[in-house]
């Protein structure tokens, strides 16, 4: 398993400087924010050439919403996701982290015909089936991210995301497992990882309080053991707050994580 970190957590005057610092601190890749990425592609590609560092993933950054009732909002999300998938492929990233919807449902409640969640599931599977050929052509994956109950009503556990992946049935539709959200929603985090293992293609790391790993009560060793059991060898990227100086805390965190993995 390989350590990565979101770009906004790293101090530095340029992306190249951030990559160089991460490499010196024991990280192997950087996770980029998708918003405005097209406009800074030249900077990203230059930094990659200068440092031989890697891009693990692209985190969201698209307009619209896949599960909005307004077709214009859905079309915006589809358009931007297609663009981000090709950028991810060009940069050698695993894929694009995708949250289907934040907050409450935007589709109507048609019970007894169908609940909003049932409509959302059918719509999401339809849209993912349309995106999947683009993802395959780009050489990147859609990474569905389950959130916690305070951020979304839909797709909150790994098993729910796995069911979507299974229904779509395409190898470029995968899961991003976020240990912070899992600490709220999963009854047994290692078991959830084992059960959804075939679909997990990326991991986000944060402790139970959404600070750096080791500053809360999440059992990282047990989660890493579960990831090893499913044969996971991919990236695990920090997405969390930092209490203190990042130049001190990020190297300490990398050491902590490697000890937990060992």
Residue pLDDT, tens place only, 197-228: 999 999 999 999 999 999 999 999 999 999 99
pLDDT of residue 89: 98
The rounded distance, in Å, linking the Cα atoms of 229 and 167 is 24
Q: Which two tokens stand for residue 146?
A: 């389950």
Could you tell me the CA-to-CA distances from 34 to 7, 83, 197, 222 in Å, in that order? 11, 10, 26, 31
Binned at pLDDT 50, 70 and 90, residue 27 comes out as very high
Helix (H, G, I), strand (E, B) or coil at 193: helix
pLDDT of residue 254: 98
For each of the domains in the chain, give its residue range(s) and CATH number, in order of start: 2-261 (3.20.20.150)
> Where are the alpha helices (H) located in the chain, listed in sequence order?
15-25, 41-51, 71-91, 116-138, 158-168, 179-185, 189-196, 220-229, 246-261
Whole-structure pTM value = 0.96
Region 167-184: mean pLDDT is 98
Q: Which two tokens stand for residue 231?
A: 């044969």
pLDDT of residue 60: 95
Say if residue 71 is exposed, middle or buried (CB neighbours under 10 Å; 0-12, 13-18, 19+): exposed
Binned at pLDDT 50, 70 and 90, residue 45 comes out as very high
pLDDT of residue 21: 97
pLDDT of residue 63: 97
pLDDT of residue 253: 98
Per residue in 224-258, pLDDT tens? 999 999 999 999 999 999 999 999 999 999 999 99
pLDDT of residue 97: 98
pLDDT of residue 86: 98
The rounded distance, in Å, linking the Cα atoms of 234 and 211 is 22
């Amino acid at each position: 398993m390989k350590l990565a970190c979101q770009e906004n957590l790293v101090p530095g005057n340029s992306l190249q400087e951030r990559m160089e610092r991460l490499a010196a601190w024991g990280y192997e890749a950087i996770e980029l924010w998708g918003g405005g990425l097209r406009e800074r592609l030249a900077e990203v590609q230059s930094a990659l050439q200068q440092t031989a560092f890697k891009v693990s993933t692209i985190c969201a950054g698209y307009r619209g919403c896949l599960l909005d009732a307004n077709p214009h909002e859905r079309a915006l999300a589809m358009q931007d996701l297609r663009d981000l998938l090709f950028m991810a492929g060009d940069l050698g990233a695993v894929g694009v982290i995708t949250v289907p919807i934040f907050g409450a449902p935007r589709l109507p409640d048609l019970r007894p015909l169908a609940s909003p969640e049932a409509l959302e599931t059918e719509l999401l599977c339809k849209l993912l089936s349309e995106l999947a050929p683009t993802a395959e052509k780009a050489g990147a994956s859609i990474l569905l991210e389950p959130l916690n109950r305070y951020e979304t009503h839909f797709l909150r556990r790994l098993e729910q995301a796995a069911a979507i992946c299974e229904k779509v049935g395409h190898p470029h539709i995968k899961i991003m497992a976020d240990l912070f959200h899992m600490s709220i929603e999963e009854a047994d985090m290692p078991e959830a990882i084992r059960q959804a293992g075939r679909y997990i293609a990326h991991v986000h790391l944060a402790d139970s309080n959404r600070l750096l790993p080791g500053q809360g009560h999440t059992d990282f060793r047990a989660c890493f053991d579960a990831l090893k059991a499913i044969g996971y060898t991919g990236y695990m990227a920090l997405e969390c707050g930092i209490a203190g100086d990042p130049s001190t805390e990020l190297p300490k965190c990398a050491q902590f994580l490697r000890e937990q993995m060992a």
